[in-house]
Amino acid sequence: MKVLTALLALAAARAQVPTTWAQAEVDTLELPAANPAYSAIHLDQAAYYRIPERVIYRTYPVYAPGREPAGYREWLQSREPEIAFDASKVKSKEQWVRAGETVFNTPTSFQAVFFTADNLRDPEFFRRTGMPIATDGTVPFARWTVRRKGEVELGSMGCNTCHTRVLAEGTVVPGAQGNNPGDRQGALLLASAATMLGQEQALARVRKFARQFQMPWLQDDCNRVTETMTIADFVKAGEEIPPGVTARANTSMILPPQIPDLIGVRQRRFLDHTGLIRQRGIGDLMRYSSLAQDLFSQDRYGSNSTAGRAGPPSARYSDPQLYSLALYLYSLQPPKNPHRSDASAVRGQAIFRREKCATCHTPPLYTNNRLIPADGFHPSAEIAGVLRAPIGVDARYTLETHKNTGYYKVPSLKGVWYRGPFGHNGSAATLEDWFDPSRIRPDYVPTGYKGYDGKTRSIPGHLFGLTLSGPEREDLIAFLNTL
Ligand code: HEC
Ligand code: HEC
């Protein structure tokens, strides 16, 4: 009888895990591309489940130089490999969430994407890149991993590499807009590869990498510029990308996006700045995570298929891994807000009302969860959730990258006090800059991301709040900082 009860409990636990790659759900996951003929076609269900599941090993914190406990390296060397995710042992809701935290921090790459193991032991590397260090001396963007005894590997490119923020005083905030300077680190890595391999070979590699961002069907694809860029141009392009912005898969090295805050993601109807992915339930967040980390490389676009793309990925997350990850993301909480509502914030709230910010940034989420067509985009189909209210922001990200839908999502304003840079491309470093009327002048130099050649001027559009007096602006920001 006891065995039967246990089996039934196990079956119930299994039953609640949604099937990630359910064909009908995958086929309707995304909005059509701005040009629907080139919407992504994903790998089919049978092929998806033939990809081996990712084995999740126990990982260990990375410490900044001089902060490692005595004997730490020797201790790591002596560790046996341990499996850290076993779905059969995960039962309570709390256990699912904790298992999801493990998945969040699990590396998906053991190669140098942003940094090498040597880099993370070199104080000069931290000085040059401004890589943040937590109060306890750890570097939460990477993990030591033991997959074979005696071999301690540096792993990264789990969610933590991009979606973890270390606040100024050293508090680690998982899920917040990340602030590891990944692309600046990548630029250093490229410069040293050019010294070691020679310019030509390093250039061939980085051009091949950059080709994944191209959209051959666009007459004037800005990503094509990488075909004529030199090593020095690529290094410059990487150095220009500030922490909080990153060129990840399916975005662009030329038009990298702001890394979104994942705290509060459960309430969002659309994912990505362009609202490409629908979030109809937890299964869609699982699909999103699998796609963004592993499956994107298998996408085909109309008849223009897989130019420059690779064979099937070596691993994917299992369905229970993705389910626990999504439950963990749903459990994330913001750090304690030091900003209290004072007289200035109360005045700011009145300005927020008067300026009709709430039409789009509607309380309590401070977003209406809607999409706004970019200037110059003429939708061919009706999409539920669209608000036709042109705001004139830079349309390129939503028209000239694989995330193209022709729309921008209205972002939530919750948590602006602990994040930045702002705007879908992170062009304004602070809220003060976002509401600085001179940002729309052609001779303005953005304080956040400036563009790959560092020459792009002005932050156009979203004119809301730009006509306020100085004190009014301060009050509005005081209010926003309380959210
Ligand atoms: C290399 C950096 C990087 C890694 C690694 C990464 N992300 Fe992201 N993530 C981004 C960027 C950049 C965006 C914004 C893309 C866009 O808007 O088009 C994003 C967007 C998202 C979004 C959409 C949120 C929203 O509100 O629009 C979710 C959800 C997300 N990531 C979850 C994850 C999870 C879960 C993992 C790990 C399995 C992960 N990401 C790994 C950089 C990264
Ligand atoms: C018509 C809809 C609309 C109205 C009205 C509006 N916003 Fe926005 N807001 C947006 C959209 C869309 C974005 C994203 C712009 C982008 O991605 O570049 C945005 C971005 C922002 C951001 C940057 C957020 C981030 O995470 O990067 C802030 C701050 C902001 N708005 C504040 C305000 C305030 C304050 C007002 C009123 C003075 C206001 N907005 C009025 C639609 C609106």
Residue 206 above 80 pLDDT?
A: yes
User: Is 264 a pocket residue for ligand 2 (Cβ < 6 Å)?
Assistant: no
User: Is 260 a pocket residue for ligand 1 (Cβ < 6 Å)?
Assistant: yes
How does pLDDT run across 299-354, given as a tens digit for each residue?
A: 988 765 554 466 889 999 999 999 999 999 999 999 999 999 999 999 999 999 99
**Atom of ligand 2 minimally distant from the CA of 420:** 27
Q: How far is the CA of 425 from the centre of ligand 2 (A)?
A: 13
Q: What pLDDT does 2 receive?
A: 59
Q: Kindly list the structural domains of the chain, giving each domain's residue range(s) and its CATH number in brackets, ordered by start.
A: 18-43+189-327 (no CATH), 59-182 (no CATH), 336-369+410-483 (1.10.760.10)
Q: What is the DSSP string of 12-25?
A: HHHHTS--TT-HHH
User: Are 275 and 33 contacting, i.e. CB atoms less than 8 angstroms apart?
Assistant: no
User: Are 112 and 122 contacting, i.e. CB atoms less than 8 angstroms apart?
Assistant: no
Mean pLDDT calculated for residue range 153-163: 97
Q: What pLDDT does 14 receive?
A: 61
Packing angle between helix 282-293 and helix 319-331, nearest 10 degrees? 110
Residue 53 above 90 pLDDT?
A: yes
In the chain, what is the straight-line distance between the N-terminal and C-terminal CA atoms, in Å?
52
Q: What pLDDT does 242 receive?
A: 97
Pairing of strands 151-155, 270-271: unpaired
Q: How far is the CA of 449 from the centre of ligand 2 (A)?
A: 17
Share of the chain above pLDDT 70, in %: 95
**Atom of ligand 1 minimally distant from the CA of 285:** 29
Q: How far is the CA of 366 from the centre of ligand 2 (A)?
A: 10
Mean pLDDT calculated for residue range 373-381: 89
User: Is 292 a pocket residue for ligand 1 (Cβ < 6 Å)?
Assistant: yes
pTM: 0.95
- Three-class SS of residue 162? helix
Q: What pLDDT does 309 receive?
A: 60
List all residues 6 or more positions away from 332 whose beta carbon is below 8 Å from its beta carbon. Answer: 174, 175, 262, 263, 264, 265
Share of the chain above pLDDT 90, in %: 88
Q: Hey, whose CA ends up nearest to atom 37 of ligand 2?
A: 357
Which ligand is located closest to the Cα atom of residue 260? 1
Mean pLDDT calculated for residue range 71-84: 96
Query: What is the pLDDT of the chain when averaged over all its residues?
Result: 93
Residue 354 Cα distances to 71, 364, 468, angstroms: 61, 17, 11
User: Is 413 a pocket residue for ligand 2 (Cβ < 6 Å)?
Assistant: yes
Question: Which of 251, 265, 360, 418 maximizes ligand 2 atoms within 8 Å of its Cβ, making it the mutation to test the pocket?
Answer: 360
User: Is 386 a pocket residue for ligand 2 (Cβ < 6 Å)?
Assistant: no
Residue 206 Cα distances to 104, 109, 228, angstroms: 28, 18, 12
**Atom of ligand 1 minimally distant from the CA of 409:** 27
Q: What pLDDT does 15 receive?
A: 61
User: Is 159 a pocket residue for ligand 1 (Cβ < 6 Å)?
Assistant: yes
How does pLDDT run across 216-241, given as a tens digit for each residue?
A: 889 889 999 999 999 999 999 999 99
Which ligand is located closest to the Cα atom of residue 352? 2
Mean pLDDT calculated for residue range 151-171: 97
User: Is 204 a pocket residue for ligand 2 (Cβ < 6 Å)?
Assistant: no
User: Is 157 a pocket residue for ligand 1 (Cβ < 6 Å)?
Assistant: yes
Mean pLDDT calculated for residue range 457-470: 95
Tell which residue, 371, 436, 443, has the closest CA to residue 408: 371
Which ligand is located closest to the Cα atom of residue 371? 2
Question: What distance in Å separates the CA atoms of residue 417 and residue 435, rounded to the nearest whole number?
Answer: 15
How does pLDDT run across 97-116, given as a tens digit for each residue?
A: 999 999 999 999 999 999 99
Question: What distance in Å separates the CA atoms of residue 166 and residue 174, rounded to the nearest whole number?
Answer: 9
Question: Which of 368, 393, 394, 464 maximizes ligand 2 atoms within 8 Å of its Cβ, making it the mutation to test the pocket?
Answer: 464
Question: Which of 30, 109, 161, 162 maximizes ligand 1 atoms within 8 Å of its Cβ, making it the mutation to test the pocket?
Answer: 162
The one-letter code for the residue type at 169 is E
Q: How far is the CA of 411 from the centre of ligand 2 (A)?
A: 7
**Atom of ligand 2 minimally distant from the CA of 428:** 27
Q: Indicate the DSSP class of residue 445.
A: -
Question: Which of 410, 412, 474 maximizes ligand 2 atoms within 8 Å of its Cβ, making it the mutation to test the pocket?
Answer: 410
**Atom of ligand 2 minimally distant from the CA of 419:** 26
Q: Hey, whose CA ends up nearest to atom 9 of ligand 1?
A: 259
Packing angle between helix 231-239 and helix 182-197, nearest 10 degrees? 160
Phi-psi group of 465: left, alpha or beta (phi > 0 → left; psi -120 to 50 → alpha; rest → beta):
left
Residue 4 above 60 pLDDT?
A: no
Long-range CB contact pairs, 334-341, < 8 A, 24+:
334/173, 334/176, 334/263, 334/264, 334/414, 334/415, 334/418, 335/167, 335/171, 335/173, 335/176, 335/418, 337/417, 337/481, 337/482, 338/417, 339/417, 339/478, 339/481, 339/482, 340/482, 341/479, 341/482
Instruction: Give strand pairing partners of 173.
Output: 165
**Atom of ligand 2 minimally distant from the CA of 372:** 12
User: Is 466 a pocket residue for ligand 2 (Cβ < 6 Å)?
Assistant: no
Q: What pLDDT does 308 receive?
A: 43
How does pLDDT run across 272-306, given as a tens digit for each residue?
A: 999 999 999 999 999 999 999 999 989 988 765 55
Question: What distance in Å separates the CA atoms of residue 169 and residue 12, rounded to the nearest whole number?
Answer: 44
